[in-house]
Amino acid sequence: MAHNQQTSAAREVHGTAKELAAHVDDLYDGAVALRRRLHEWPEVGNHLPNTRDAVLASLEDLPLDITLHQTTSGIAALLTGGKPGPTVMLRGDMDALPMPEDTGLDFSSRTENIMHACGHDTHTSMLATTARLLAERKDQLPGRVLFMFQPGEEGHHGAKFMLEEGLLDVPLLADGSASPIAAAYALHITTAIPAGWVTAKAGPIMASSDTFEIVVNGKGGHASEPFRTHDPVPVACEIVQALQMMVTRRIPVFDPTVVTVTQIHTGTTSNVIPETAYINGTIRAVSESTRTKVHEHLQRVAEGIAAAHDMSADVSVKIGYPVTVNDGPSADFGMEIADALVGAEKSVRLPNPVMGAEDFSYVLNQLPGAMIFIGGTPDGVNPASAAPNHSNRVMFDERAMKTGISLYASLALRTLGVRLS
């Protein structure tokens, strides 16, 4: 009996995903057009006026209750179904990166030194297209879908600002009943996996991301007389080396961290020993306990080494995004739908987290849900050699958006309990 129930459930999920995929083709050209418009005119940070206008134009004929956020260019668009039920939230990020584009695409960025190098233009287009797809099925929905169009993912904490402004305060239904948010999902395209593939995992899926600064304070002087100075340069070098040893000797290998020094600045000329040396870098971890340990050890190492040389070190850590932790049942649910949508051979459970960071972590700290990756490697390109996300040459196979739209819509409908015939 249990086996028959599992088989029946699998068929229901399969039918939902496959039927939706058949309708995506009709909307694909519009999705591509929106994506290319966004790609040509990228914007950075939390204030994206042109991007917001493009998204609103794509939604204007749909039966959505739209809230424009004031602290950012965030958009919350609520689709209310014909029957009472819970709410599911779908997130798409909208911002680009401050970098040049060298792809040679016909629709390359027209804004100097700004590029959609992480695929957020595809996310936004997929989410807007999903809103259209689900709006056509409005009367079938036993509940609501909240579409979160989010700015500022690339280090600007856009999700945090939207949450603080009341994103999750979903209004009551017309009859006065509540419609709580049952789950939240976000998709992210990547060239690290082939187009048409889907990957995720339960538990930590992306790392936290903090930055640190260390200023070594010495005493400057003439380069010919270092004994009359307190030279901060070799001390800074010693600290950088010691941080790598700290990682391997103080942090458990199965609860890892990545500490990367990306800048060392000091001095003005060849015959002057400077008074200070500046070190900058990032800290990534996949648990809050390791994250805290690294903060403590980093300060101890820097201050201790500086003191050993009669100097001091000022250490500061700027807190960034938390660890992105997928709710186990939500991640499993999403991958079951992916199995049906793309086939089990293209639906892969990740064995380990990705060490990049995501501000969808703020959402998952408050709601059950999952971050899911979709493949976007261009046709005929090996993912191992493809230009990665954040590269000035990265390109995505736009056909991957079909997978994303179908997956977004399937996640929403199945969360609300819709069974399509």
Per-residue pLDDT band at 51 (split at 50, 70, 90): very high
Using CA atoms, how far apart are residues 131 and 77, in angstroms rounded to an integer?
A: 9
Average pLDDT over residues 333-362: 95
Q: What digits encode the pLDDT tens for the residues 203-243?
A: 999 999 999 999 999 999 999 999 999 999 999 999 999 99
Residues carrying an active site annotation: 321, 398
Using CA atoms, how far apart are residues 66 and 85, in angstroms rounded to an integer?
A: 20
User: Domains in the chain, ordered, with CATH?
Assistant: 2-206+323-415 (3.40.630.10), 208-321 (3.30.70.360)
Q: What digits encode the pLDDT tens for the residues 185-213?
A: 999 999 999 999 999 999 999 999 999 99
SS3 (DSSP) at 261: strand
Region class of 240: left (phi > 0), else alpha (psi between -120 and 50), else beta: alpha
Average pLDDT over residues 351-367: 96
Average pLDDT over residues 376-397: 96
Over its C-alpha atoms, the chain yields an Rg (Å, rounded) of: 24
Q: What digits encode the pLDDT tens for the residues 276-285?
A: 999 999 999 9
**Under 8 Å between Cβ of 183 and 89:** yes
DSSP codes of every residue in 25-89: HHHHHHHHHHHHHHHHS---SS--HHHHHHHHHHHTTS--EEEE-SSSS-EEEEEE-SEEEEEEE
Please tell me what DSSP assigns to residue 346. Answer: G
User: Residue 24 half-sphere exposure, CB side, CA atoms within 13 Å?
Assistant: 27
DSSP codes of every residue in 165-185: TTTT-PPPPTTS----EEEEE
Q: What is the pLDDT of residue 145?
A: 97
Token pair, residue 186, equals 């976000």
SS3 (DSSP) at 23: helix
Per-residue pLDDT band at 2 (split at 50, 70, 90): very low
Choose among 66, 82, 27: nearest CA to 418.
Answer: 82
Using CA atoms, how far apart are residues 128 and 124, in angstroms rounded to an integer?
A: 6
Residues ≥6 apart with Cβ < 8 Å to 119: 188, 189, 190, 376, 389, 394, 396
Compute the mean pLDDT over every residue in the chain, rounded to the nearest whole number.
93
Average pLDDT over residues 63-75: 97
